[in-house]
Structure 1
Amino acid sequence: MSEAALSPDEAALLDRVQAPEGQGREILDAATREVIGRAPVQTVADLDDAIARAKAAQPGWEALGHQKRSDLLLQAADAIDARAEALARLLSREQGKPLNGPNARFELGACSAWLRATAATVLEPEVLVDDGETHAELHYKAIGVVGAIGPWNWPLMIAIWQIAPSLRMGNTVVVKPSEYTPLSVLAMISVMNEVLPPDVLIGVSGDREVGARLAAHPDVDKVMFTGSTATGRKIIESSAGNLARLTLELGGNDAGIVLPGTDPKAIAQDLFWGAFINTGQTCAALKRLYVHDSIYDDVVDALKEVAEQTPMGVGLSEDNVLGPLQNTQQFDIVNRLVDDAKARGARIVTGGAPAPELGELFYPITLIADATDGMAVVDEEQFGPVLPIVKYSDVEDAIASANRLDVGLGGSVWGPDRDEARKVAARIQSGTVWINSHGGVHPMIPFGGVKGSGYGLEFGVEGLKSVAVPQIING
């Protein structure tokens, strides 16, 4: 029983949010498969009560004004920082990501950084016409109650991406965390609620029925969802009855294009982490790599060298920077895609089979060379530690391959000539295209997908607008 190994601070946080002994649903450590704690199993009735409380609290929260709300967001960031180590350790157990590297401690730092950046973002009324006869201004006001439905891969950071702008604009928020990672999210919410007024931010831990009700509830005015495209479509259907506004950050299958003349060793580290941050369990991770034939073998070799030097194991070990798959369902998807690639003649450069010596859900970094469009491992989102590498000889073909799928979250172009790379990037059909990097986000740079990767923008001024309703004052 891993509870015995919890630090006092972890145990105190867990006791705030977990179900009483003998109740709830057991949550397992992703790496060791030991029981961490018991997630509350709340019902649709519990959700209805939470939404009613949030709706009642919203006018008073909005009335505080932007400055007071921003001050409270800054205090919430301080509260998270004060408990960051305990939250990071709980996150590492529940999600599987290691403490170090771009993982659990990094995620907690991002949570407080995003709160502070959101608090500091200014959204002033915009004068549209002022010609002596007509004066028209564009203002943004709170929507009401925001329903936030989060994923299991970056459960705290993405929750903050939903919570911070919503609260900043005067909305109240009801959060439904993933069934796989509820404890760490509920713990973070409890820390934030040390400084926030009652019922401004409420977490509800439940199953898919609760999530469906949140999307369809008549008193929910905005739904923010990060997750699969299939679930996003269901949320669109569920929200139709109440015309809730939507921000959907859905699945991706990000392509990277390495242009001729690129130095493989110079880009290997950034390529590796673009693909394998959070052990590949990231929506905007690099998931298929197109490399010019003149440097193909050298890029494969450079990535292999990085992979072999990057330690994987239990996340609470200070030495590891790669962890397990978070759940059995995702492990099975990764295993199926790799097996299919092998059966179709692709070449396994590293990995290629589960690593039971590390634990039940560990799958090593797997580089797949000689992959081709049409293979399942290329056409489907792996969402794990697998990267198919495709050879091309004509850049036009690489661009066509990058654009051939019905997703468009991110993409990247790698090359020594930044102007040439930008020309290629402009032709990639994705919400963001990075040059000589992949997957980095910034609180002031809008982020969102196209095609089957969803719609709506997050972050910065555009992110504030997305959780508000416009009002024209004319006269």
Structure 2
Amino acid sequence: EQGKPLNGPNARFEVGACSAWLRQTAAFDLEPEVLVDDEGGRVELHYRPLGVVGAIGPWNWPMMISVWQLAPSLRMGNTVVVKPSGMTPLSVLALVHVLNLALPTDVLQVVSGRRDVGAVLASHADIAKIMFTGSTAAGQDIIRSSADTVKRLTLELGGNDAGIVLPDADPRAIAEDLFWGAFINTGQTCAALKRLYVHEDIYEEVVQALADIARAMPMGVGLDESNFLGPLQNKAQFDIVANLVQAAKDSNARIVVGGEPNKGQPGYFYPATLVADIDNDNPLVTEEQFGPALPIIKYSDVEQAIEWANGLDVGLGASVWSSDRDKALAVAARIQAGSVWINKHGTVDPRAPFGGAKKSGYGLEFGVEGLKHLGQPQVISA
């Protein structure tokens, strides 16, 4: 339904992540916090169930992200109404069916439909909280729809994640992790690497190391066990990628690999595309492509790279690549993003909170901190 190949960080990976997140979330403890305990009294912070949580998911990782939303909601004692993307409802309907074999009746429900159904959930007086993963524009619509009921929101919105490769990095050593940071799920991932800044001293080495991997990575129908890259899920996304790559071509950027739709193959297949010698203000850099096209921008000064990385109004994730951990950490601390990875990109962990900066949303998911965002804080003083 989504188009993921079975192997690699794709379909079987997604199913495994669902299982892992359910198990880890069930294992978390959230005990009352003792804030004051002295001769003046005792103050405790508790987290109570909110009530009904509306979980609105995307089409790129439909099962996994639904689990990210529903697992902590249920763990905190809430009931959940799941609204899958209208583009990928079937896998989520099947997921909810399986979960309901174990859950009490009506604790977890699912309603499918298009964006207007999500708007109803966001405005409904009996929904206490909305968890949403999707575009910034759709998130803004949910904020507006939810305003009258002042409901709680956790929004994981669009990103345009930057990676900065420092001059001391080893191009061949980091190339495979760079590739999958950008091309996981054929680039259709919110926290994928979407613009790469590489120091001029190692620029060509990094470009060529990535090109070697891209040329060798098989793309095709997901049920073929040999494929690791699949199609774009829908025509609208295919057209976005094709138009942004064309804009790069029109600016005389260098197409290193790819750059043309796979002719003669049915489906929305766009090859893994690397674009070098591209300006930082090119649309392929400034707009989220959400597909298999990575712009690689040359820089000469780290200050310039940091400024460029921070130059957009989104900040979901970012990464720094270096052989010197301390140097990488110093750069990471200056990047405006909710998560910054060192020598990897997009490796989320159910124990570590995850959330965006700027227009990439607000609220946290995962870990004990994520559980707190699905409870009503209550302070008891005695």
TM-score (ref. length: structure 1): 0.80
Q: Aligned to 1:384, what secondary structure does the other structure show? A: coil
Which residue in 1 is equivalent to 2:202? 295
Which residue in 2 is equivalent to 1:261? 168
Which residue in 2 is equivalent to 1:244? 151
Deviation at 1:208, TM superposition (A): 1.5
| Unmatched segments (≥5 aa) in structure 2 | none
1:451 equivalent to 2:358? Answer yes
CA distance in 2, matches of 1:149, 1:207: 11
CA distance in 2, matches of 1:450, 1:298: 32
Which residue in 2 is equivalent to 1:407? 314
Q: 1:209 aligns with which of 109, 116, 119?
A: 116
Deviation at 1:160, TM superposition (A): 0.2
1:163 equivalent to 2:163? Answer no
Which residue in 2 is equivalent to 1:119? 26
Q: Which has the larger radius of gyration?
A: 1
Q: Aligned to 2:206, what secondary structure does the other structure show? A: helix
| Unmatched segments (≥5 aa) in structure 1 | 1-93
Which residue in 2 is equivalent to 1:346? 253
Q: 2:337 aligns with which of 430, 433, 437?
A: 430
1:229 equivalent to 2:136? Answer yes
204-213 or 96-105, larger mean C-alpha shift: 204-213
Which residue in 2 is equivalent to 1:24? none
CA distance in 1, matches of 2:40, 2:202: 64
Q: 1:328 aligns with which of 206, 210, 235?
A: 235
Q: 2:45 aligns with which of 138, 141, 144?
A: 138
Q: 1:173 aligns with which of 73, 76, 80?
A: 80
Q: Aligned to 1:232, what secondary structure does the other structure show? A: helix
Q: Which runs of 4+ in 1 moved over 3 A?
A: none
CA distance in 1, matches of 2:59, 2:7: 18
Which residue in 2 is equivalent to 1:375? 282
1:471 equivalent to 2:378? Answer yes
Could you tell me which amino acid in structure 2 is paired with residue 194 of structure 1? L
Deviation at 1:372, TM superposition (A): 1.2
Q: Aligned to 1:233, what secondary structure does the other structure show? A: helix
Per-residue deviation, residues 45-88 of structure 1 (Å, max 9, x unmatched): xxxxxxxxxxxxxxxxxxxxxxxxxxxxxxxxxxxxxxxxxxxx
CA distance in 2, matches of 1:399, 1:246: 30
Q: Aligned to 2:277, what secondary structure does the other structure show? A: strand
Which residue in 2 is equivalent to 1:48? none
CA distance in 2, matches of 1:95, 1:202: 22
CA distance in 2, matches of 1:353, 1:137: 61
Could you tell me which amino acid in structure 2 is paired with residue 399 of structure 1? I
Q: Aligned to 2:368, what secondary structure does the other structure show? A: helix
Q: Aligned to 1:187, what secondary structure does the other structure show? A: helix
Structure 2 counterparts to residues 345-364 of structure 1, below 5 A:
345-364=252-271
Per-residue deviation, residues 297-345 of structure 1 (Å, max 9, x unmatched): 0000000000011110000010001000000000000000000000011
Could you tell me which amino acid in structure 2 is paired with residue 295 of structure 1? I
RMSD: 0.6
Could you tell me which amino acid in structure 2 is paired with residue 166 of structure 1? S
Per-residue deviation, residues 93-118 of structure 1 (Å, max 9, x unmatched): x0001000000000000001100000
Deviation at 1:209, TM superposition (A): 1.3
Q: Aligned to 1:302, what secondary structure does the other structure show? A: helix
Deviation at 1:191, TM superposition (A): 0.5
Q: 1:390 aligns with which of 279, 284, 297?
A: 297
Which residue in 2 is equivalent to 1:200? 107
1:150 equivalent to 2:57? Answer yes
CA distance in 1, matches of 2:214, 2:256: 10
The percentage of counterpart residues that share the same residue type is 69
1:185 equivalent to 2:78? Answer no
Which residue in 2 is equivalent to 1:274? 181
Could you tell me which amino acid in structure 2 is paired with residue 259 of structure 1? L
**Greater relative contact order, per chain length (Cα 8 Å cut-off, separation 6+):** 2
Could you tell me which amino acid in structure 1 is paired with residue 318 of structure 2? G
Number of residues paired by the alignment? 382
Deviation at 1:349, TM superposition (A): 0.3
Q: Aligned to 2:245, what secondary structure does the other structure show? A: helix
Deviation at 1:132, TM superposition (A): 1.9
Q: Aligned to 2:74, what secondary structure does the other structure show? A: helix
Q: Aligned to 2:241, what secondary structure does the other structure show? A: helix
Deviation at 1:286, TM superposition (A): 0.2
